[in-house]
Amino acid sequence: MVRLLCVASLLGYASAGWTGALGLTFESNKPVEAKSLFCPSGFITGIRVKYGRTRDEDRDLYDFKLKCGQRWTSWSGLWFKNELEDKTYECPAKMYVTGIEVKRGRREWGDKDTYDFKLQCSGVWQDFMGMKFGGQQEQAGTECPSGEGTSGLKVFRGFVDWGDKDLYEFELNCKSIAANLASIRGLPDLKMLGLQRNVLVWDGEQLGAWLEALGLGDLAPSFLHHNVNGGTVFLLTEEHLRDLGFSVVGDRLYFIELLTQLYDDIVAWSSKIGVQLATHPVPPLRQIGLTLQPTTWSVKDVCKVLKAVGLEEYVELFVEHRIQGDVLFNLTEENLKEMGIEKIGDRLLITDIVQTLYEQVTGWQQQQVNPQSLLQLGAA
């Protein structure tokens, strides 16, 4: 029996996103067939396998096609004839393939080689497809690294004359989920939407237009209700998104990734035009009758800041809970929620202003910024 040298070179290592072979028994004294299937975009969401057998040559033949999102590829093109079985397995809705496991069977009587397959969908192993199978010899699998999904499948078929053995081996191609989301969904063109490049000055309606362009328009009313705008959207956490109506984990992670891209975009833009971004500047303290020592402020003084930034509706709550200067810098979002400030955007605005104030009065911001070069909330 001769083992082809090309088999080792084909299956010996992983590269360029490929996982490497599963480790099933694989040899051939005939030219090895190798076929690759890829999703042009997105990830594999299902697989279809057909099996055929030729009586004269005692060949056990398999061919494969992939489901990419909602569309099927063509068959791989492995030599095939005399179909006896055709089975399909698809991942549950909104899940995609992250791994594969294969078991190999062999019955010496009749020289019959059989395989069965199961998928891992978004990290969860599914059941075997249920292909006709017998005489299990081995089982092997592979999965993509965390944070990656499967976008391609490579199939190798070898044949050994002695014993009429048809042997198959497989490997997956994995790619980053985040990179895939960026390439598929991308960021909407702000100019085409009529939106300013400086996201920090967007009001709730403009943020809603951006959500609509992302296909998330059904969540825009929730963002408006909670007073989330361009100045606070970058402060949102996954917990905030859950409270805003993102019930699906993947959608929350997707949105956070888009926010990261959007923020990186405006930072690069502001650097290019030579301006510094500012979200919530603290009102001029002396002009509203306050000292530059917030820890000495009374509750009434703290409320002057609330009024200056348009949050006068919460004055009574600050009075009721005795939020004065000596506790102001210890105030957390959780405290604000406990006080009865229900709107997420308003809580984020208050905590951001308090943080900015703290940095200014303690000298953490030493850099002098030219007012002519400062993009502030509310600027044109």
At 315-347, the pLDDT tens digits run: 999 999 999 999 999 999 999 999 999 999 999
The CATH architecture that domain 185-274 belongs to is Orthogonal Bundle (1.10)
pLDDT of residue 306: 94
CA pair distance 246, 301, nearest whole angstrom: 38
Type of residue at 177: I
Top CATH class of 277-380 equals mainly alpha
CA pair distance 340, 327, nearest whole angstrom: 18
Instruction: Look at residues 28, 36, 37 and name the one whose alpha carbon lies nearest to residue 6.
Output: 28
pTM of the model: 0.50
Low-confidence ranges of the chain (pLDDT < 70): 1-16, 41, 178-186, 276-281, 363-380
Residue 49 tokens, joined: 């396998």
* Burial class of residue 13 in the structure, from the number of CB atoms within 10 Å of its CB (0-12 exposed, 13-18 middle, 19+ buried): exposed
Backbone region of residue 85 per phi and psi (left: phi > 0; alpha: psi in -120 to 50; beta: other values): beta
CA distances from 84 to 14, 30, 136 (A): 33, 24, 20
The CATH architecture that domain 5-177 belongs to is Aligned Prism (2.100)
Mean residue pLDDT of the chain comes to 85
Please determine whether the domains at 5-177 and 277-380 fall in the same fold group of CATH.
no
Q: Are the CB atoms for 105 and 134 separated by under 8 Å?
A: yes
pLDDT of residue 281: 67
- Dmax (CA) for the chain in angstroms is 98
pLDDT of residue 378: 39
Strand segments, DSSP code E, in the chain are 33-38, 44-54, 59-68, 71-72, 83-90, 97-107, 112-121, 124-125, 136-143, 148-160, 165-176, 276-277, 374-375
CA pair distance 58, 47, nearest whole angstrom: 26
Q: Describe the crossing of helices 344-361 and 299-308 by its angle, rounded to 10 degrees.
A: 110
CA pair distance 13, 190, nearest whole angstrom: 44
Q: Where are the domains of the chain?
A: 5-177, 185-274, 277-380
Type of residue at 319: V
